[in-house]
Structure 1
Amino acid sequence: MSQPREIVPGATYMITRRVLRRHLLFRPDAAITQLLVYTLAVSTRRFGIQVHALCAMSTHLHLIVTDTNGVLPRFLHFFHRIVALGTKVLRTWEGPVWDHEATSVVRLLTRAAVVEKIAYVLANPVAAGLVRHAHQWPGATVGVDELGRGVLRAARPSAYLDPENPQWPEEATLPLALPPVIEQDSAEGFRQQVATELDRQEAQAHAEMQRQRHHFLGADQASKISPYERATSLEALRKRNPTFAVGRGQGDAWRIAAVAVRAFRASYRAALERWRAGVRSVVFPAGTWWMRALHGASVTDVVLEV
């Protein structure tokens, strides 16, 4: 049984979803980039999600977002469904698009975590040995200078989406918002922090490529590879899928967050046990999503701060 997840309005997350069996269905070409940007723009507007950064790799998708209204599961269901259906049409693909593993959702609790994870997302194509520098990636992504002020635009894709349906406008815009932990007057400092961390992660990737005597594939080749092939690089199995991140050197913040997560899970399980015993008046802890949305269970308004 999966662990219960706390869904809190205003929380910032790093979200990762992988393509089935590491097929290259999101190969960075104009059609797939248009689909991803357009669908993300429409989906985030529909559910009040703020986007801070993104990077669409050939085999998976990274997002850094803030769930303003506490509706993250609904957003993910809608967004992933439309992306999958559009991809099936674009690639003439039969069967599932997404991997069977659950979406990775990591709550970012500190400024340090936000900086590190945004840099991680942007550095992904470099770490994968595809391009030497993040800005060279030809797929859907953002540059450091765009953080908190850029706007992505995409026309409605012809694949799958009905032009007569008003929920699919002719063009969709996706503004890149500053994360809530970043004040407007410190935006430039924040972008500089991300740039510094990105440089560090790129240097690590360069050193690793040199150690293994590998060469970067290059943007042109990455755009031409067949989307029906599968990634062949080694990937560690059963890696930890964390619930939250606080950044390097944030030991105190990590301990506080870990205590809060354990307290939420213990409270949730106790309430669920009583519910299963037939006590419908039981109150679940703040942040409970599934029991409230599916069964109408009562949820307290008192949020445990982390």
Structure 2
Amino acid sequence: MSQPRHIAPGATYLLTRRVMRRHFLLRPDTAINQLLIYALAVSARRYGIEVHALCAMSTHLHLVVTDVQGVLPRFLQFFHRIIALGTKALRKWEGPVWDHEATSVVRLVTQAAVVEKIAYVIANPVAAGLVRHASEWPGVKVDVGDLGRGVLHAARPSAYLDPKNPQWVEQATLPLALPPAIQQENAEAFRGQVGAELDRQEAQAHAEVERQGRRFLGAERATAISPYERATSFEGPGERNPTFAVGRDQGDAWRTAAAAVCAFRVSYRTALERWCAGVRSALFPVGTWWMRTFHGVKVNDVVLAE
């Protein structure tokens, strides 16, 4: 049985979804970039999601978002469905678009984690050996200077979306929000922190490429790859998929977050056992989403220790 997912209104997450069998279906081009921005803008507005950073790689998609209303599963379902159906239409693809593994959802518990993971998202094309600097990536992305003040725009894609359906507006706009822990007066300092972390990660990627005796592919060659090809680099099965992140050298925060996750899971399992035994008054811990949404279980309104 999979672990229960804790969904908390106001939580910030790193989200990752991978393409089936690592095909290059999201290879950057005008049509795919338009679809990604439009789908994200419409989905975020529908579910009250604040988007902080994103980077669309050819084989996977990274987002850093805040789930203001505690409806993250609904957002992911809607957003990924639009991307999948639009991609199938654009690429004339008959099989599934997304990998069968569930979306990786990592809660960012501290500001240090938010800084590191936003830099990680921005640096992804560099770490993959595609471009030497993140700003060169031709896919959908956010630059450091856009954090908390940039705006992405996209017209409604002609593929898949019915212009007669009022939910598919002609123009969609996506403002990039600051993470909730960052006040507007501290925005420039925050961007400076992310920029410094991005420089560190880019330098690390440069050293690794040099160590392996490789060269960066380059933006032009990256956009010329067939979307029907697959990545050939090694990726081990069953890699670690963390529930939360606290950033480097945050031992106390890690122990606190780990204890909270364990407490939630123990409380959830106990309540689930009682509910399955027919005790419909079983009280589930705050953050229970699936059982509350689909079975209407009772949820405790006392927040577990963070």
Q: Which runs of 5+ in 1 are unaligned?
A: none
Query: Does structure 1 residue 87 correspond to structure 2 residue 92?
Result: no
Q: What secondary structure is seen at the aligned counterpart in 2 of 1:36?
A: helix
Counterpart CA distance in 1 for 2:91 and 2:106 is 30
Q: Who is 1:265 aligned against?
A: 265
Match of 2:146 in 1: 146
Q: 2:78 — aligned with what? A: 78
Aligned to 2:119: 119
How far off its partner does 1:305 sit? 4.0
Question: How high is the TM-score relative to the length of structure 2?
Answer: 0.99
Say if 2:276 is the partner of 1:276. Answer: yes
What residue identity is the alignment partner of 1:6? H
State the Cα distance separating 1:184 from its structure 2 match.
Answer: 1.1
**Deviation (angstroms), 1:122:** 0.4
Residue 108 of structure 1 and its aligned partner are, at CA, apart by: 0.2
State the 1:224 CA deviation: 1.1
Query: After superposition, where does 1:26-105 map in structure 2 within 5 Å?
Result: 26-105=26-105
Q: C-alpha separation between the residues in 1 aligned to 2:25 and 2:18? A: 10
* Distance in 2, Cα, partners of 1:223 & 1:153: 21
- Does the residue aligned with 2:16 lie in a helix, a strand or coil? strand
SS at match of 1:101: coil
Q: Which one-letter code corresponds to 1:72 in the other structure?
A: L
Residue 294 of structure 1 aligns with which residue?
294
Provide the rounded CA distance (Å) in 2 between the counterparts of 1:23 and 1:111: 34
How many Å separate the matches in 2 of 1:206 and 1:8? 37
Cα offsets for 1:91-136 (capped at 9, x unmatched): 0000100001111000001000000000000000000000000000
Q: How far apart, in 1, do the equivalents of 2:281 and 2:253 lie? A: 34
Q: Which residue is 1:172 aligned to? A: 172
Query: Which SS does the other structure have where 2:3 is aligned?
Result: coil
- Cα distance in 2, alignment partners of residues 33 and 54 from structure 1: 12
In 1: Cα distance, 2:258 partner to 2:78 partner: 30
TM superposition shift of 1:66:
0.1
Structure 2 CA distance for aligned equivalents of residues 29 and 224 of structure 1 = 9
- Match in the other structure for 1:17: 17
* Structure 2 portions without partners, runs of 5+: none
Alpha-carbon distance between aligned partners in 2 of 1:236 and 1:30, rounded to the nearest angstrom:
32
* Structural RMSD (CA): 0.6
Letter in 1 for 2:26: F
> Which residue pairs with 1:221 in the alignment?
221
In structure 1, the residue matched to 2:3 is 3
Matched, 1:160 2:160: yes
Higher mean C-alpha deviation, range 128-137 or range 235-244: 235-244
1:300 is displaced (CA, Å) by: 1.3
CA displacement at 1:237 relative to structure 2: 2.4
Instruction: Give the AA of the match of 2:122.
Output: L
- Look up the equivalent residue of 1:111 and give its one-letter code: Q
Taking the TM superposition and a 5 Å limit, the aligned residue runs for 1:226-237 are 226-237=226-237
Q: 2:304, 2:244 → 1: CA distance?
A: 15
Partner residue in 1 for 2:201: 201
Alignment correspondent of 1:184: 184
Deviation at 1:235, TM superposition (A): 1.6
4+ residue segments displaced more than 3 Å: none
- Name the amino acid aligned to 1:288: T
The one-letter amino acid of 1:188's match is E
Identity across aligned pairs (percent)?
76
Task: Return the offset for 1:238.
Answer: 1.7
SS of residue paired to 1:281: coil
